[in-house]
Amino acid sequence: AIWMTQSPSLLSASTGDRVTITCRLSEGISNYLAWYQKKPGKAPELLIYAASTLQSGVPSRFSGSGSGTDFSLTISRLQSEDFATYYCQQYYFFPRTFGQGTKVEIK
């Protein structure tokens, strides 16, 4: 199975900060990568698909970039509702795989 390394695993930040999460894969997947937000007790939500396409209804402060093996998710100005855990996921190969997750917490 393809390996995914997501970093950092924990990110401490303040409201208004710009934060970036990275996802590195062991094999190239073109742009078949998605980013999800997960809050405790809630369903995961799709933020970005095709590496850089914003899902309908997701605020424009979220953006994604990358291709091949290296990808990133950026939140331009962190809001209180953005404190959550974020996961990257590849959908090029079976089995589908997720990164280990990045918890964004209040500094």
Partner 1 sequence: QVQVVESGGGVVQPGRSLRLSCAASGFTFSSHGMHWVRQAPGKGLEWVAVISNDGSKNYYADSVKGRFTISRDNSKSTLYLQMNSLRVDDTAVYYCAKDRSGLGIDAFDMWGQGSMVTVSS
What residues make contact with partner 1 under the rule CB under 8 A?
A: 1, 34, 36, 38, 42-46, 49-50, 55, 87, 89, 91, 94-101
Nearest approach, Cβ of residue 15 and partner 1 (Å): 25
Nearest approach, Cβ of residue 11 and partner 1 (Å): 15
Judged by CB, which is closer to partner 1: 15, or 91? 91
Judged by CB, which is closer to partner 1: 13, or 46? 46
**Are the C-beta atoms of residues 36 and 25 closer than 8 Å to each other?**
no
Query: SS3 for 54?
Result: strand
Nearest approach, Cβ of residue 48 and partner 1 (Å): 8
Judged by CB, which is closer to partner 1: 42, or 107? 42
**Could you tell me the end-to-end alpha-carbon distance of the chain, in angstroms, rounded to an integer?**
35
Alpha-carbon distances, residue 1 vs 29, 69, 104 (angstroms): 13, 14, 27
Q: Indicate the helix (H) or strand (E) that contains 71.
A: strand 70-75
Residue 91 — φ and ψ, nearest 5°? -130, 35
Nearest approach, Cβ of residue 49 and partner 1 (Å): 4
Judged by CB, which is closer to partner 1: 69, or 97? 97
